[in-house]
């Protein structure tokens, strides 16, 4: 298969829709510590099923993702957040 025929097989929509770069919201706001008692903030990073949303979906950096997961786990143990959805 020649190079010309392979390039024409690719969809053309990729050229027009470049994905938006995700930026860590905590870095933008200069937040160093994520509190486990701030349940409203933690709910934004846990979908309906109760799982912790991954970095590739939320756009948080690795530093804040580790802090976020630790805060969610602490809130779950204290009963502020559910482990699973009802």
Domain CATH number, residue 72: 4.10.640.10
User: Residue 4 falls within a domain, yes or no?
Assistant: no
Whether 2 shows a pLDDT value over 60: the answer reads no
Number of domains comprising the chain: 1
Q: What is the DSSP letter of 61?
A: -
Q: What distance in Å separates the CA atoms of residue 57 and residue 64, rounded to the nearest whole number?
A: 14
pLDDT tens, position by position, 4-59: 555 556 666 666 767 777 889 999 999 889 999 999 999 999 998 889 999 999 99
What is this structure's pTM?
0.74
Q: Is residue 56 one of the residues assigned to a domain?
A: yes
Quick check: 86 pLDDT over 90? Answer: no
pLDDT of residue 84: 85
CA–CA separation, 31 and 26 (whole Å): 5
**pLDDT of 82 higher than 70:** yes
Residue 70 lies in a domain: yes
Residue 60 lies in a domain: yes
Rounded Cα distance between 29 and 23, Å, is 11
Give me the domain span that covers residue 69.
21-86
Q: Is the dihedral of CA 59, 32, 62, 28 positive or negative?
A: positive
> Could you tell me which of 45, 42, 73, 39 has the C-alpha nearest to residue 59?
45
């Amino acid at each position: 298969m020649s190079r010309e025929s392979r390039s024409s097989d690719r969809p053309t929509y990729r050229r027009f829709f470049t994905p938006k770069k995700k930026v860590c919201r905590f870095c933008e706001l200069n937040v160093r510590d994520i509190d486990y008692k701030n349940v409203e903030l933690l709910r934004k990073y846990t979908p309906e099923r109760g799982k912790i949303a991954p970095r590739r979906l939320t756009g948080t950096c690795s530093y804040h993702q580790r802090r976020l997961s630790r805060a969610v786990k602490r809130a779950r143990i204290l009963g502020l957040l559910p482990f699973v959805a009802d």
